[in-house]
Amino acid sequence: MGTRTNEVLYGQMSDGFTMHGGMCIGGSDDVRTFDSDPELLERIVRHCSPTLAGLKCGSMFKIGQRSQDTIHSLRLLQRDIKSKGVRMMVLHNDDGGDLVFVYRYNLLEQRLNDPEVREFLNGYGYRVFSVNSALKELRHRFRVCPMPPEVGVFLDYPMEDVKGYIENEGRCSHCIGCWKVYGNVAEAERRFDLYRRCRDDYCNRLSRGCSLVNLIVPM
């Protein structure tokens, strides 16, 4: 199932993926198969559901001070989600906690193969554009910059908006949603609505007992 197919499903169904008979996306039963910290799961779903649904290549969320239970839960979760095509890594950590990047390996690979993206990232010191190499460089960039301006590339923001944000130093945007828009407002608002409906659908399914693993669309 590709990104465009997932968009069409959300665009046509008012209640998300009920066309699967009420089952969790990607799973065969609406039952919990992965027990973890409920607060951690809610945070992942609230901030990363479009990536879990295959609608975008990456999302980020922040974890405060971690406990050993949280570390254990993250390790178990990483093991279980990899088979669905989703991975996660800590991009940066400081006294405020960890910034975690959740991503679709294949979608991020496609993004990094875009000539415009490569030319843009090259200007920020990226020289190798494999997923692992680019993420390694991004982690390095977080060590020298609180929020590297190119991070929008990894979050699947439109390139015209990534560039517009940098050129305007974050000012004078046409509208603000999941990101600041400097290009096509109508298309951005369509995606904001798509992501919002996806988030609400996933939060609802999680609250009804669906496991995070079963929420993930396999790709």
187 in a domain, yes or no? Answer: no
- Region 197-205: mean pLDDT is 98
Instruction: Check if the beta carbon of residue 71 is closer than 8 Å to that of residue 65.
Output: no
- Region 128-141: mean pLDDT is 98
5 in a domain, yes or no? Answer: no
What percent of the chain lies above the pLDDT cut of 70?
A: 83
Distances (CA, A) of 30 to 21, 39, 211, 214: 10, 20, 8, 8
pLDDT of 219: 84
97 in a domain, yes or no? Answer: yes
Give the confidence band of 36 by pLDDT, cuts at 50, 70, 90. low
* Cα(102)–Cα(47) distance, integer angstroms: 10
Number of domains the chain contains: 1
71 in a domain, yes or no? Answer: yes
* Cα(6)–Cα(28) distance, integer angstroms: 18
Range list of H helices, the chain: 3-12, 38-52, 68-81, 105-112, 115-122, 131-144, 151-154, 159-167, 185-207, 212-215
Burial class (CB in 10 A: 0-12, 13-18, 19+), 51: buried
DSSP run (H or E) holding 181? strand 180-181
Could you report the per-residue pLDDT of 62-118, keeping only the tens digit for each? 988 766 777 777 888 888 899 999 999 999 988 888 899 999 999 999 999 999 999
**Cα-trace Rg, the chain:** 17
- Region 154-174: mean pLDDT is 97
151 in a domain, yes or no? Answer: yes
* pTM of the model as a whole: 0.84
DSSP run (H or E) holding 102? strand 97-104
- Region 201-217: mean pLDDT is 95
Q: Mean pLDDT in the chain?
A: 85
Statement: residue 1 has pLDDT above 80: no
Q: Which residues contact 18 (CB under 8 A, 6 or more apart)?
A: none
pLDDT of 66: 67
* Cα(36)–Cα(42) distance, integer angstroms: 10
209 in a domain, yes or no? Answer: no
Top pLDDT among 133 and 18 is at 133
Statement: residue 9 has pLDDT above 60: no
145 in a domain, yes or no? Answer: yes
What is the three-class DSSP state of 62? strand
Domain that holds residue 83: 30-157
153 in a domain, yes or no? Answer: yes
